[in-house]
Structure formats: C-alpha cells, structure tokens
A and B are shown apart, each in its own frame.
Chain A
Amino acid sequence: MSNGLDFEFLIDTFFIALSGVPVAMIITVISLLIALPLGFLLALTRINKMPILSQFSRVYVSFVRGTPVIVQIFIIYNSVPLLLATIFEKYNIQMNVYDVNPIWYALIVFSLNTTATLIEVFRSAINTVSKGQLEAAYSVGLTTVQAFIRIIIPQTLVVGLPNICNATVNLIKATSLGYAMSLPEITLKAQVAANASYNYIEAYMDIFIIYLIICSLVEYGFKRMEKRLRKYKIAPAA
C-alpha cells in the first residue's frame, strides 16, 4: 500500500464508475418528479390541517426523517418481495420476485424518502408566501386552482429553491447506497472493479471525484437558477 497509487487503475476505474452515472441520474430525476408534486400536496394537507391525511403526513415525515436511509433501504428491499410473492401466489402470476430489477426498489425508497424531505421544505415555503398573495389573486377574479398554478406554486418554488437544491444533492449522494440493493450505480461499479485487485483507495477516489463533479454541477445549476429568479423574491414593504 505504501508504493503509492496505481494510476492506470485509477483512470480505468474512473470510467467504469462513470458508467454508473446514468443509473444514478435516472433514479434522481424520476424520484424528484414523483416527490415534488406529492410533497407539495402533502404539505398542503398539513397546512390546511386536513383530517387523517395531515396526521398521516406527519407520522410519515417523522419516521422517514428519524431513521437512517440505509435502514429504509433494507426494509423496502426485504418487504416488497415478500408482498409481491404473496400477491403473485394469490393471483397465480408466474413470475419470480427475484427477477425484479433493483431499480424499482431504488425508485420506491428514494421517492418515498425525498417526498418526506420535500413535505417539510414546501411546508415552510408555503408559509413564507403570504396569505395576501392568495387574497390578491381572488380579488382580481382568479379561482383557487388558477391562483395556485399561477401565483402560489411559482413563488413557493422560488422560496424553497435552496432547500430543494439541498434535497437534490442529498438524494444524489444517497443513491450511493444503491449497492445495498445490488443496483449497478457509481459506487457498486467501482467497488466491483476494486475487488479483483484490492485497489480500494483508487476506486474510492474515483467515486469521490465523480460525486464531487456531479454535485458541484447541480449546485451551480441551482445557484444560477436562484440568481435568475431572485427578482421574484418578496418585495420590500415600503
């Protein structure tokens, strides 16, 4: 180990790890597409204190934010096949539960997890967008649905943008736990490459660099967006 780094391996493995990026990105994007609207709707149930749904979101958020992602992964990974097996058996579906692509498990875990984060993000963002905005929309003749689509949601997104950025970065990082579901993403691919020759340091350096690049790009993108949208920010009172 003291003979320094194996640069050839470092470079080869970099590209192997890089080939895991699409899987990580697909999971990130789809999870966000599910979690953004779902998180918004559940945040509304909490703000409007809707019976049952609001209690449900509360417990849901508390559990997801109170337990490690890796434990959530293991719970989903071990329970879904059990459920599926029961269902397949009942309806006589000829399919092996172990043939299910792990990407499905990853999508379930990460959308559920991100939804919980976004419920909290939207809850505080919606509270920041003042009630006056909704009232002004009513006063010029917009319906509730029109007011939400045109006034409230765009402003909520602007206010919540820094936190949505955080949630996205955390989601990308969390996909590195896909190894626990045998998901061929960045970390698993590099790990497998390292197993053959015990070049773990090089492999983890590659993974480290890839995540650094991806997350920096994502953060940069969000910063640019924030700058562009800054003028929508709440106007000073006087």
Chain B
Amino acid sequence: MLEIQSIKKSFGKNTVLDGVNLKIEKGDVVVVLGPSGSGKTTLLRCINFLEKADEGKAIFGDIQVDLHKASKKQINTIRKRTAFVFQNYNLFNNKTALENVTEGLIIGRAIPKDKAIKMGKEALDKVGLSEKYNAYPSELSGGQQQRVGIARAVVLNPDIILFDEPTSALDPELVGEVLEVMKTIAKEGTTMLVVTHEMSFAKDVANRVIFMDGGVVVEEGSPKEFFENPKEERTQRFLRRVLPEDYIYNI
C-alpha cells in the first residue's frame, strides 16, 4: 500500500538517510527502532513532505511520486492520505480539543461542520476524552494532549498514520494511557508507522520491526525474530543496551 524506494537526505555534509527502502501493507503496524540521530524522524518527515528528500520515490496505492520533485498537488494528495502524530503534540494552541480534531475535516477536507463535529466527538470519545471537548491545550496534561493529537490523526481516516516518538515527551506515568490508545486503534486495523523506544509496544503490537542506524535499515523482521534472534551485530548491540535483562534472559 505504501512503498518508499531508496530515499536519501542530507543536511549539508551530514547524510541522514542513505537509501532507505520500506514497504507497508494495509493494516500493518510497523515499528521503527534505532539509536538517537539515526534518521528516524527525518524518514517520517520526508514521507509527509515536512522535509524535502534529496531523492527517492513513494508509491502510494495507485499514485507514484518523486519525493524530491513532487508538485504542490501531489504533496497535498499525499498529506491527505497520511496523518502525523508529533513527539511534542503540536496541538493548535488557539483551538479547543474538539476544534483541533475538526480543523482538518472542516478546512482541509471541506466536510460540513455538523458532520465534522459529530466525527470529532466520536474520535475524542475513542481516546477517552469525552469530558474535554472544550478544553484548550494549555488546560490538558501531556498525556491528554497527545491523545487529542492521536484523535486529530485518526479522525481523518488516513491510509496511514505516522507516529514520531509519541510518548517520549511524557512523564512516565502518562505513557501508559497513550500506548493504550495506540493499541486500540492498531487493533481496529489502522495502518501505522511508529517510531518509538517503547519495546513493549514493539513486541506486543507491531507485526514488523525495522532497525535503523546511520541512515540505513540494518535489519527488519517480525518482532519475534527481531527480539529473540537478531542477526546483525549492530542490532544485538542496540538491544543489549536498551533491554539488558531481557536480552540476557532470552539467550
């Protein structure tokens, strides 16, 4: 459903993505792991055109775009088929929770207002924020803000949702509520590409894990293979660092 071919991106002399390939089928939950600075965020941003790749191709169902030379119209089409959940939420500060969720529907998609509001309320209900329709971001906790962020993405019913470390700005006690919501929408068959450091999410929810380092995909496989039997030396080192106990246990 989404295929990314040999995407490359440099910032000055710093090559951040050095030919990454990616294939995601409908309903897949793909988790991207990798050390900080390995280019995970840049990959997601290039897919959504928040960053312009130097080269690469995206095949999106029936459409094919050059990631470097995409036209405005193509960019808009792809953005309408994708949604993004940001590490620092990026809720619109001047809009209530409900307005945040309906903004893309009413303005971006020209859906009638009353219908959009109905959809927005449903989305907020789904993430457990029925009480907070009219709260502004400044009146919400981090976990609540991120749940609005997820509702804002889900309501657009996109072909795929891109998550960039959705829980890493949160206090530890708030991580659970967000992961729970992500698990729910994954179970409903939402296609997701998730950058995260939450290994439990990768193990329990993902059906594929990709390990990136130095701007390339080092290894990929099912969570079971990946965690129990990593093939690459670099993957093993990474897992030893992030899961010391599990790793020893599994061996």
Taking Cβ atoms with an 8 Å cutoff, the residues of A that contact B are 129-130, 132-133, 135-143, 146, 150-151, 154-155, 158, 230-238
Contact = CB atoms under 8 A, between A and B. Distances in A.
Interface residues of B, number: 38
B86 interface: yes
B138 A140 contact: no
B107 A136 contact: no
Contacts of B200: none
Q: Which of A143, A230, A235 lies at the interface centre, i.e. has the most chain B CB atoms within 10 A of its CB?
A: A235
Contacts of B171: 238
Contacts of B108: 140-142, 146
A218 B107 CA distance: 35
Contacts of B76: 141, 143
**Majority secondary structure of chain A interface residues (helix, strand, loop or mixed):** helix
B93 interface: yes
B235 to A, nearest CB: 31
A139 B92 contact: no
A237 B142 contact: yes
Given A135-B50, A146-B108, 7 more contacts: A137-B103, A139-B79, A141-B104, A142-B107, A146-B107, A154-B94, A235-B89
Given A136-B84, A142-B103, A235-B140, A151 B94 contact: yes
Given A132-B90, A133-B93, A146-B107, A139 B48 contact: yes
Contact of A139 (B83, B95, B139, B141): B83
20 contacts: A135-B50, A135-B90, A136-B86, A138-B48, A138-B49, A139-B82, A139-B84, A140-B153, A141-B109, A142-B104, A142-B108, A146-B108, A150-B103, A151-B92, A234-B93, A235-B89, A237-B142, A238-B141, A238-B171, A238-B174
B88 interface: yes
Contacts of B91: 136, 235
A151 B50 CA distance: 17
B70 interface: no
Nearest to B141: A238
